Chains A and B, each alone.
With several copies, the nearest count.
Chain A
Amino acid sequence: MIGGLLDRSDSRVERIVPPSGFTASLTVLSAAAMAFLAVFIGAISMSASRVADDWGAALGDKATIRLSAPAETLQDQIDAVMTIAAQTPGVVGARQLTEDEQRALLAPWFGTDAALEGLRLPVLFDLTLEGDGPDIEGLRRRLQGEAPGAVYDDHARWRLPMVRAADRMSSVAGVSLVLIAAIGAAMVALAASASLSANRQIIGVLRLVGAKDVFITRIFVRRFTLRTIGGAVTGSIAGMIVVVLMPGGGGFIDLRFAGAGWLWPALVPLAGGGISYMATRYAAFRRLKELS
């Protein structure tokens, strides 16, 4: 395939089918639009899956137990919490926060210089989770029985739907990419078919003088593949520029490529060329069969 496309074109052969400016522009424009979309939606997909990963990781990783208890039962309850945490599957670590850490957490409210000594702060435990985390209902029941002043907080109440959303967004974007590829293929195939139809008289003449299908097909395939690649390169560059210029701001908005993501805009025209090659070949052979 690559060889065939990169061959120094035989201009005498190329000239046989007229360049038909409008179908050509239409193909280039469609390819550019599809490549632009592919780059853009690829960026969305990558960013959404990044967000889902990050938040999902944070979410699966950490939980807090907050314990407020009268002084007389406090140490018992602290011990109970540590025991429960150690025995609960899905929890791999539990650590009581130091006073300094708690003070840092409260700084926004009391200022750093506030005297917290006089205050009976709740005790905070930082849990490290693994996998899907603990069985939350079971854990809560056990805490209620053995350390009634303890409250389990898995940070997930508000984040879970967003992680799910990011995940779904990422799959919607992935499906969209497949759709874009399919629509792009359909567009190129239709444009090539329209071109073959418009040139059926020339094809008739070529057949009259003994041209074979491969000869005719090659002209169209070569032409449409090159046009698609040209359009896709333009569209990819435009898409890349827009993505780079997109506002940052974290979360769902930060579409900018990261790491290997930068390869994506380069991959799109290549994929476009491949899709176009297949689509045009298929369309050409089909049409030629019909025209015979």
Chain B
Amino acid sequence: MVEFDSVSVRFGDRALFDGVSLSLPAGSFHFVTGPSGAGKTTLLKLCYLEMAPEAGEVQLFGKETERLGRDEVADMRRKIGVVHQDCRFVDHLSVSENVLLPATATGVDIRDVDDNMSQLLAWVGLSRHRDRRPPELSGGEKQRAALARAVILSPDLILADEPTGNVDWEMSLKILDLLVELNKSGKTVICATHDLSLIRQAKTRAPARVLRIRERGIELSGADL
């Protein structure tokens, strides 16, 4: 599903990744962890093509991504759901319109996903807020709305960047449950987090693995943490 072949990324004179190779099979569940500034977000950006590696290859869905045009990138993104670390919304649209945005932008009939949206909003506890605009949401509510938007079209690959960064422990577990459930229904999930207790909890519920970002490389941790 996601394959890195000697990927290198450098910012200025600092090499973030240096010849990293990875292969995350379809249906797998991975956490990405590491200290602040380690490169968790960068790893996810490589996966949803917001960024191209300096050297090496990134393969998505079995396809080479290096020379894709903008439209082909768009096509690929339709199969990827992203929870951005700073939850990017269209601020003047309502929460429900924002959640439906992937459908609107890709021409999917709204009626086909409307039920899905209502369920999702209920799940993340935002039913009351569906007609609000994102700036009127609290930090945690925004993250949950971003999660709902990421999964509305049930994409094959779900990338979540600190989806629990602004929520309390209870809500964190709820979000974790949603990700686990999605993974069980066959989706590939990659979730960046700095919260080790969340990862510990996840391991009790699903065969999640951990990608730990170290000096210029990524190391796959086993069951132990």
Which A residues fall within an 8 A CB radius of B?
Answer: 12-13, 15-16, 18, 201-202, 204-213, 215, 288-289, 292
Contact = CB atoms under 8 A, between A and B. Distances in A.
A213 B90 contact: no
Nearest to B89: A205
B75 interface: yes
B75 A205 contact: no
13 contacts: A13-B104, A16-B90, A16-B104, A16-B105, A205-B89, A207-B77, A208-B48, A208-B50, A209-B77, A209-B78, A209-B105, A210-B77, A211-B106
Interface of A is mostly: helix
Closest 10 CB pairs of A and B: A211-B105, A210-B78, A210-B77, A209-B102, A212-B74, A18-B92, A205-B88, A210-B74, A212-B71, A202-B90
A215 B93 contact: no
B84 interface: yes
B75 A210 contact: yes
A208 B92 contact: no
Contacts of B76: 210
B137 interface: no
B83 to A, nearest CB: 10
A206 B105 contact: yes
A213 B97 contact: no
Contacts of B92: 18
A206 B105 CA distance: 7
Contacts, number: 61
B204 to A, nearest CB: 32
Interface residues of B, number: 27
A12 B71 contact: no
A112 to B, nearest CB: 83
B82 A12 contact: no
Contacts of B84: 208
B104 A201 contact: no
Contact of B101 (A205, A288, A292): A205
Contacts of A211: 74, 105-106
Interface string B61-81: 000000000110011111010
A289 B100 CA distance: 26
Contact of A201 (B74, B75, B78, B88): B88
A190 to B, nearest CB: 20
Given A15-B93, A16-B93, A16-B104, A208 B71 contact: no
A149 B199 CA distance: 119
A7 to B, nearest CB: 14
Contacts of B50: 208
Given A12-B110, A16-B93, A201-B88, A207 B104 contact: no
A208 B106 CA distance: 11
B61 to A, nearest CB: 14
A195 to B, nearest CB: 14
Given A16-B90, A205-B90, A210 B102 contact: yes
B30 interface: no
Contacts of B74: 207, 210-213
A215 B90 CA distance: 16
A213 B70 contact: yes
Contacts of B149: 209
Interface string B39-72: 0000000001010000000000000000000110
